[in-house]
Chains A and B, each alone.
Chain A
Amino acid sequence: MDLQKLITRPEKGAKAAKAADALEVVGKSVQRVDGLEKIKGAARYTDDLEFGPGLLYAALVESPHAHARIKAIDTARAEKVHGVVKVVTGRNFKHKFGLYMNDRYIFANDVVRFVGEQVAAVVATDPKIALRAAALVKVDYEELPAVMDAVKGLEKGSPLVHPDLKDYTHVPWFFPKPGTNIAHWRKIRKGDLAKGFRDADLVLEDTYTVPRYAHCAIEPHSAIGLYDASGRLTMWTSSQSPFTQRHVFAETLKAFGLSHKDVRVISTYIGGGFGGKAGVTMEIIAAALAIAVPGRPVKLLWNRAQEFYNTYQRLGVTAKIKMGATKAGKITALDFKLYWDSGAYVEYGANVVNAAGLSASGPYRVDNISVDSMCTYTNLPPCGAYRGFGYSEFLFGLESHITRMAEQLGLDPVEFRKKNAIKEGETLPYGAHMNPTGIREAIERVEKEIKWGVKEKSKDPKKAFGKSLVCFWKAPAMPPNASSSAFLKFNEDGSVNILVSGMDMGQGLLTVMAQIAGEVLALPVSKIRVETPDTDRNPYEWQTVGSHVTWGCGNAVKRAALEARERIFDLVQRVHCLDKSTLYLQDECVKCRTKPDFSLPFRDFVINGIQAEDHTFKGGPIMGSGVFMPEFTSAISDPETGQGGHPNVHYTTGAAGVILEVDKETGKMRIKKVALAVDCGKAINPDLVKGQIVGGLLQGFATVLYEDMRYSEKGRLLNPNFSDYKIPTSMDMPDEVVPIIIEVAQPDGPFGARGVGEHTMIPCAPLIANAVADAVGVRVKSMPVTKEKVALAVKAAGK
């Protein structure tokens, strides 16, 4: 398929389109710079690295209880096993840690709060010995009443997961309620809600539920730590967040005399992240174990079950929505309550709750709005970042509700959406203003693609077709001062190495960074190498999360390239006496507008300088550095209204539509066609954007059609493997996927780009729920919308 044909640049972007046509490297679907390594089997992931015969292996002792007091730990028998080097417990590590809130210990101290929580670890010369010895550690527990449900956890008299909540340190934009299970309560109050409901011709109220989900990156987490005799800690981790990890390791293990300069985190390729490898989870265990066995590398490798129950999970949510709208189709009021099952520790997950609370209006203008997004502790595994960061969860209810509102008002659901879709400059729920957006164009393109309004009838009387169209948006969730930086250096042959600490987890960051630098420096991507992070060598990046690195890290790389270009121009001006303003770069050479025969190839001077007439050399290695921090954001606002800050940098918006076939007897669903249009500002590499659309859609469809995490009453995860937690195979692909790229430039983005990674899975759940309703007239309000639920609902409705 010709991707260029899929790109839409709306009218207002016509000037930008003309500029886009002049681009040489950006906007082209070049091959991935990491493509060959991965296809030849040469790419190294963390578990592939060799550490020699001295490598030690760790195995964990895990809690069998959801909530219990640790009365005693007896490690004596484990310590006697031949080959065991060390047994470590919470006694050795007393400091709490966390990304946004310090509510976790490296090993449980006194209390365990979920089934599978690490209580102790055995370090041994062989993984089998470590496992065997871990089974010999005896832990005496006194079981405590547990919180298994977020809504029940809010009831008076509920057991408390963290009775000491008042003592926990956290970022200033969190509002925990000590004495309850509420770790954070994000409130938004704007306009006059009561008046909004009075002005409405229809007020609809309902509840939607979303269970927990697992990332299921095919590569499990792994971490190797080495604390050497000089007191330096080196960690090799499979991570989206090497610098954040370095910071957390250094802060948490400060008592051992570590400073940031002594901690080095090296992250090679990672086999999928999806938010699951953001922040710090199991890696801090490996860091602690390295400290416990100085001088020897120690490896911690998660098995698939641990991958499910002891990394972050996606939060579950119960969403209560009350919405009002007029007959003319204007949304007049929204009262949205989100009760999040956030798990035993919310050091990262509370920010999911925060982000969702800020943006729960969806991409619509709602003047009278109240949002209560509550982060509730439960005795289930900790939750955190997962592609979509809360937006998939609230959008299921919101977009289901919007379709129902339109239908009950007798309005077309797509027209209803168009009428309320947010426009550039309009006020957001927290008072800031909306960035340029192509949401309207996205709706129109998708509408056309799925032939909205044309009813399709199945030839098979047992089957029915349904259509739906939903909108989505998402902003990167990040602290206001999250920054990116880049180094760029030329080599003798005019090629370039770029150092960044953004992570390529498959999305194509390295390629996109090469394209951005290549565009500025008139270099093809084949002359640029971009490497994965090493905190000693590569400059700072906050984390590769929130779909912000194309934008943030891209801006840093662009600045580094511009700085290098400036140095080139300065040098050429100085030696060749050509006015800087007449110089430009083309085909790996410096050229001059006023002197057409002047052409100086990079390879002739970028390392060894330019020889002047007196035979001396001027210049030296050409380098550049670039830093980017969004200097217009602020997370501080009124805790009671959420007004006053500027917590989000921008929103990426879009729309998706589906044609779904439903078997009325079995409930089996088949996606005949799906179209997704996303406004990425500028597709630096359209093929990679398409990759995000196609991949994100299937991941999203799986969450609505069959995935979900099932727990026993005692909080044990019942399906921690790929046999019982089904993720899609090649047999589950939609019949047809149409990716559509909208380009309404982001003014502060590199070449107009904004993020696109997470957005593509966000619309999937309401897309299916609404299409099912359209096809067979039943409304499923709890995810997943399985064929079983659909079949039973059809039967119950007597349809």
Chain B
Amino acid sequence: MKAHRINFTLNGEKVSLEVEPNDVLLDTLRGRLGIKSPKVGCDRGDCGTCTVLMNGRTVRSCLALAVEADGADLVTLEGAGTRKWTKRLQAKFHEKNAFQCGFCAPGVILSATELLEKNPKASQHDIKEAIAGNLCRCTGYEPIVEAIAETAKGK
């Protein structure tokens, strides 16, 4: 297989990398770039713990190929802390003890970031829908949904 050179920005920094055509974005981020906040949970797009932002939209990085990142602006939780809504969400999640094991947290925070960046007036239903692709087995979702709702309301 022919290797491809891809160029993209990752958390604001330029990256240039040779990848195989079948390299998965999640593996490339974790294995070659030391980006560990997106996790391996199911490898088939069901659980959402590998969520990253690609050009401002959430992507399941276990379902994306590394070559798809060519030319893109990629943001993971490591680099999202400077975004207005991420920062506010993180403060609220911390205050409310919203997570337990924390394994789903990077994905949930990025999904919530995408939602509030697009729709700061998100309703309870919008919030539930926005994070429905991020499975959490610990919390019953209630504290997470509450935290996002309070963040949106500027509480």
Residues of A within 8 A of B (CB): 29, 31-32, 34-41, 43-45, 47-48, 50, 215-220, 269-274, 301, 303-304, 505-508, 687-688, 691, 694-699, 721-723, 727-731, 733, 737
Contacts and interface: CB of A to CB of B under 8 A. Distances in A.
A35 B100 contact: no
Given A272-B100, A304-B42, A691-B138, 18 more contacts: A31-B94, A36-B94, A216-B137, A218-B103, A220-B40, A271-B39, A271-B102, A272-B103, A272-B137, A304-B41, A505-B101, A506-B100, A691-B100, A694-B140, A695-B139, A723-B46, A727-B137, A733-B128
Interface of B: 30, 34, 36-37, 39-44, 46-47, 49, 76-78, 81, 90, 93-97, 99-106, 109, 127-129, 131-145
A320 to B, nearest CB: 32
Contacts of B104: 218, 271
A39 B39 contact: no
Q: Which 4 A-B pairs have the closest CB atoms?
A: A271-B103, A38-B102, A506-B100, A506-B101
A220 B41 contact: yes
Nearest to B101: A506
Contacts of A691: 97, 100, 138-139, 143
B78 A31 contact: no
Given A31-B94, A39-B109, A218-B41, A694 B139 contact: yes
Given A47-B40, A217-B101, A730-B145, A722 B47 contact: yes
29 contacts: A29-B97, A36-B94, A38-B102, A38-B105, A39-B99, A48-B36, A48-B39, A218-B41, A218-B101, A218-B103, A218-B104, A219-B39, A219-B101, A219-B103, A220-B41, A271-B101, A274-B137, A303-B43, A505-B101, A506-B138, A508-B100, A687-B96, A694-B143, A698-B140, A721-B42, A721-B46, A729-B132, A729-B141, A731-B132
B56 to A, nearest CB: 18
Contacts of A31: 94-95, 97
Contacts, number: 160
In this complex, the member of B76, B94, B140 whose beta carbon has the largest number of chain A beta carbons within 10 angstroms is B140
A733 B140 contact: yes
A34 B103 CA distance: 12
Contacts of A688: 97
B151 to A, nearest CB: 12
Contacts of B128: 730-731, 733
Contact of B97 (A35, A274, A303, A733): A35
Contacts of B131: 730
A586 to B, nearest CB: 27
A23 B100 CA distance: 25
B97 A729 contact: no
B102 A269 contact: yes
Nearest to B92: A39
A334 to B, nearest CB: 33
B95 A41 contact: no
A755 B136 CA distance: 22
In this complex, the member of A45, A215, A691 whose beta carbon has the largest number of chain B beta carbons within 10 angstroms is A691
B42 A41 contact: no
Contact of B90 (A39, A217, A303): A39
A270 to B, nearest CB: 7
A35 B94 contact: yes
Contact of B135 (A35, A47, A218): A218
A721 B41 CA distance: 11
A41 B76 contact: yes
A595 to B, nearest CB: 40
In this complex, the member of B41, B90, B102, B127 whose beta carbon has the largest number of chain A beta carbons within 10 angstroms is B102
B102 A506 contact: yes
A747 B138 CA distance: 29
Contacts of A50: 34
A697 B76 CA distance: 31
B46 A722 contact: yes
A733 B149 CA distance: 15
B97 to A, nearest CB: 5
Nearest to A685: B97
Contact of B137 (A39, A40, A217, A723): A217
A507 B100 contact: yes
A731 B140 CA distance: 10
A271 B41 CA distance: 10
A733 B143 CA distance: 11
In this complex, the member of A43, A217, A696 whose beta carbon has the largest number of chain B beta carbons within 10 angstroms is A43
In this complex, the member of A50, A274, A508, A731 whose beta carbon has the largest number of chain B beta carbons within 10 angstroms is A731
A272 B97 contact: no
Given A274-B137, A723-B46, A730 B144 contact: yes
Contacts of A694: 139-140, 142-143
A192 B96 CA distance: 53
A63 to B, nearest CB: 22
B150 to A, nearest CB: 12
A795 B105 CA distance: 43
B138 A45 contact: no
A695 B41 CA distance: 19
A218 B37 contact: no
Nearest to A29: B97
A355 B2 CA distance: 58
A699 B101 CA distance: 15
A574 B97 CA distance: 43
Contacts of B103: 45, 217-219, 271-272
Given A694-B143, A697-B140, A219 B41 contact: yes
A694 B97 CA distance: 13
Contact of A38 (B34, B49, B99): B99
A216 B47 CA distance: 10
A304 B77 CA distance: 23
A457 to B, nearest CB: 26
B79 to A, nearest CB: 9
B97 A32 contact: yes
Given A41-B78, A730-B132, A721 B44 contact: yes
